[in-house]
Amino acid sequence: MRMETSYFRAACAAAATLASCTAFAQAYPTKPVHFVVPFAAGGPADIYARFLGNRLEKSLGQPFVIEDRPGGGAIIGTEVVVKSSPDGYTLLAMSNTHTVNESLFTKKPYTLMKDLTPVAPINYSDLLLVVNPSVPAKNLKELIALVKSKPGQLNYASSGPGTPYHMAGELFKAMAGLDIVHVPHKGSDQARTSVMAGQTQMMLDAVTTMAQIARSGKVRAIATTGKTRSSIMPDVPTMDEAGVPGYEATIWLGVMAPMGTPKPIVDKLNAEIRKTVHQPDVKEAWAKQGAVAMDMTPQQFSKFLQQDIEKWAKVVKISGAKVD
């Protein structure tokens, strides 16, 4: 009888907790939500976090405050989220920088899948390999030949260690057998400026931000990194078809929250984000920029993240990429 009573009380307590969480989620949010972007302003994560925050603000009725906290290869801003209360009021705008960091950095103040919970992906886009106009290479084969004739003398810019731009560069070096010097910057804007000014010779950057710069003639487009040609730069060949068979790299963005955030809140955010990325005007706007919406449940996104961690661990090992 005592055992039955104990089970009954436990069941009642669990039911009460679930009801409380559900009621909390239904009311959520009741105050501003802080959306931390661990990258510099002006990059894809910042741009799309602001876009998404604006849409969520309208659908959920509370401000989504964007906080750019760059530095440390996205580790500084991410740690802020990890240490925040798991109540749904602090979210992380993240990218494949985070999955790369799991193997690139041997010491971090957090472990991605243990300290953060997946909410939803946002979108992905191809990268664009560009060079400064002064570089005497008009296509990928000419660029590879140039680099091989000057080992260690040319360099490529990135927005920092572990970023998609850095790892795409390391993958390029490994697959093409090249010796190019990596020059990390504090943000993607600084890296782009460096290439345009000729301080660095080349860069792999998100097509969503670099395409217009290439069209203006400030840099020369060499190749894109998707499986097929980019819809916004159809005249530019892929790395695969232009001289590096099998090469593929993208930048994707997503949202995570501190581990322990109530599941009903995570599910609510996931539903709102998925609803947003499916809106016709959003798809149309992103298509013009070269971005493609991603649609997953939290469980599917969790599996995707784990697979991406494993994928980039292999690339880090093969490329020999290191963080000083």
User: Taking the model in full, what pTM does it have?
Assistant: 0.86
In 105-187, which ranges are continuous DSSP H helix?
112-115, 140-149, 164-176
Tell me what pLDDT residue 35 has.
Answer: 98
What percentage of residues in the chain have a pLDDT greater than 90?
82
Q: Are 277 and 295 in contact (CB under 8 A)?
A: yes
Q: For residue 256, what are the β-bridge partners?
A: 92, 118
Over the range 163-189, which residues count as b (16 or more CB within 10 Å of their CB) and which as e? Answer: bbbbbbbbbbbebbebebebbbbebbb
pLDDT score, position 1: 47
| Domains of the chain, earliest start first | 31-124+251-319 (3.40.190.150), 126-242 (3.40.190.10)
Query: Using one digit for the tens of pLDDT, what is the confidence trace for 100-125?
Result: 999 999 889 999 999 999 999 999 99
CA 224: distance to chain centroid? 17
pLDDT at 299 over 90: yes
Of 127, 100, 156, 104, the C-alpha closest to 312 is 100
Q: How far is 79 from 99, CA to CA, in rounded Å?
A: 15
Q: How many helices (H) and strands (E) does the chain have?
A: 13, 10
> What is the model's pLDDT at position 26?
78
Residue type for position 35: F
- 18, pLDDT greater than 80: no
For residue 39, the model assigns a pLDDT of 93
Mean pLDDT of the region 220-231: 96
Q: What is the pLDDT of residues 50-83, one digit of tens each?
A: 999 999 999 999 999 999 999 888 999 999 999 9
Distances (CA, A) of 109 to 39, 81, 97: 17, 12, 16
Query: What's the one-letter identity of residue 198?
Result: G
Distances (CA, A) of 142 to 30, 150, 323: 57, 13, 30
Give residue 161's pLDDT. 87
Q: Residue 323: its pLDDT value, please?
A: 75
pLDDT of residue 6: 54
Measured CA distances, 75 to 49, 78, 87, 97, 210 (Å): 17, 5, 21, 10, 25
Residue-level pLDDT at 8: 46
Which residues have a Cβ under 8 Å from the Cβ of 34 and sit 6 or more positions away? 65, 67, 84, 89, 90, 91
